[in-house]
Every structure is written in C-alpha cells, then in structure tokens.
Amino acid sequence: MNLALAPLSRRRAAVRTLALGALACGAAGRAHADTAQDLLAASDAIRNPGQAFRVLITLNEFERGQLIDTSVLSSLARTDGNGQFSSLLRFIQPARDAGKLMLKTGQDLWFYDPSSKASVRLSPQQRLLGQASNGDVLTVNFAKDYRAALAGEEQITDGEKRKRQTLKLALTASEGDAAYATAELWIDAQSRAPIKARFYAESGRLLKTAFYRKYQPQLGAERPTETVIIDGLNPQSVTLIQLSEFQSRQVPASWMQRDYLPRYQADQ
C-alpha cells in the first residue's frame, strides 16, 4: 500500500495495523529468545524455591468424585552440587505409615521403615497414592532430568478453567531413571509458570495429565500449591497434591544420606 496516496482514515488504520503487527512480532521474538532448556529451567524456578525448604504435602485420591484415600507427608529439600534436589520425606498419615521415610539423593531413591530398620531401593515410577508416583511428590528440577524442545504456542484451558496463552515444550528423559520417558509441558507465555503437563511411558501411552494451579506467594515467588493428576486411561481417577506450610529451613547435607535414616526421628 502507498500510504502517501491513501485517504487519511485508511493511512491511520494501516499505521495501527503495522504497529500492532510489530508489537506482536516483538512479543513472539522475546518469547523465543530463550532456548527451550532455558524456558524449562525458568519454569522449574517457579515450581521450586531456590533455597533449602520444608513443605507439607497432602495427597487426596478421588474415584468418580468420591474421596477414597489420603496421605500426608512432610518434605525437606535442598539442592545438591549439580543443581538437582535431594529430598527427605516423612510420612505423617495414615497412622499405619507414620514415621516411615523416603529419601532421594543423587540418582538413588530409598524407602526406610523404622519398625524393621530396613531401607529398600525404590523407583520414581512406583505409585505412592492413586495417580501420584514417588517422582510426583519429590522436589525435582525437570531441566536436570529432561531435554526440552519448543513444540509451538497454544491457547489452552488451565486447571481453573481460564484461557491461557502458553508455550509448549516437548521433554525427553536424559537419564534412564527419570520418572517418565517423555512429557509435554505447557508454560505461561509471559511468566513461564507451569500450567499443564502430560506424562508418557516408553511405549508412548499417556500415563497421566497434570494441572498446576492455586498459585500463591510462597518463599519469594508465586508458586503452584496444588497439582491435579488425572489418570491417562480413566479420567474418573484423580489425585490432588496440595502443598502448604512452606518454610525456609537449614537442611544439613548429612541428612540426605541413606546411613542417616535410622537417626532422623531422634534428631527432630
């Protein structure tokens, strides 16, 4: 279009259109300025505090909308030398599990039962309650376990029924003991906050869908305090993970050792 020869109203409309187009291109350019791995790391930083911390984890299992089971755990987490978290979880409820411990350190995951004084190696994929696996309740930086690729931009409905403009990341496990073989993660296009994820088995079968919601200010950032996990085959099977009582804590590295587990209760 020759703007100099066009009528004034058309020139103004064209200028507005060009300006809006430039703004949109600029926003898209900023969205893609970071690498996919950078975007994943930014999302991790929203899910997880950067310092050692304690949090209370409540898991509620629902079947067809009816609550059928509940577990409560207290979690201590701190980053190790590689930027991944080590976590020590103590079971509080139900009473039959009270005092039992689960420890993730490096690539190892251990379960300790004080009644037998035995520690048993676990897999992150093993179910803890309902659709929540061990890996779902451990504090994990996805950027350390997965390679990310940008898979596009999408408008999706989040866990609170709102429309969100997101960037979609395709994740492939970089370590053999990652909780899932592949995953898809949708993050807010502006804030990088995690909104939704799908997790897959090696066969490509959808295992579960997760929605991150109920964002609240916790330890210096707006963080999701609920994760809704929906079974990949049976959408009537739902597990709700709730995080509460966030506290910054000193967590000695010595606590994140298998040999320390028998002494943990006495030191608390």
**pLDDT higher than 70, residue 268:** no
pLDDT value of position 81: 75
pLDDT tens digits along 40-67: 999 999 999 989 999 999 999 999 999 9
User: What would the CATH number be for the domain defined by 38-267?
Assistant: 2.50.20.10
Percent of the chain with pLDDT over 90: 72
Average pLDDT value for residue range 188-194 = 98
User: In the prediction, which pLDDT does 176 show?
Assistant: 67
The residue-averaged pLDDT of 134-140 equals 89
Mean pLDDT of 239-257: 95
Q: Which residue has the higher pLDDT, 233 or 10?
A: 233
Check residue 93 and give its pLDDT: 96
Of the CA atoms within 13 Å of residue 79, those in its CB half-sphere come to 12
pLDDT number for residue 83:
80
Residue 14 has pLDDT above 50, yes or no: no
Domain extents in the chain: 38-267
pLDDT over 70 (residue 182): yes
For every residue of the chain, DSSP letters joined together read --TTTS-HHHHHHHHHHHHHHHHHHHHHHHHTTS-HHHHHHHHHHHHS-SS-EEEEEEEEEEETTEEEEEEEEEEEEEE-TTSPEEEEEEEEESGGGTT-EEEEETTEEEEEETTTTEEEE--TTSEEETTEEHHHHS---HHHHEEEEEEEEEEEE-TTS-EEEEEEEEEEESSTTSS-SEEEEEEETTT--EEEEEEE-TTS-EEEEEEEEEEEEETTEEEEEEEEEEESS-TTEEEEEEEEEEEE----GGGGSGGGGGGHHHH-
Give the pair of three-digit tokens for residue 37: 């791995």
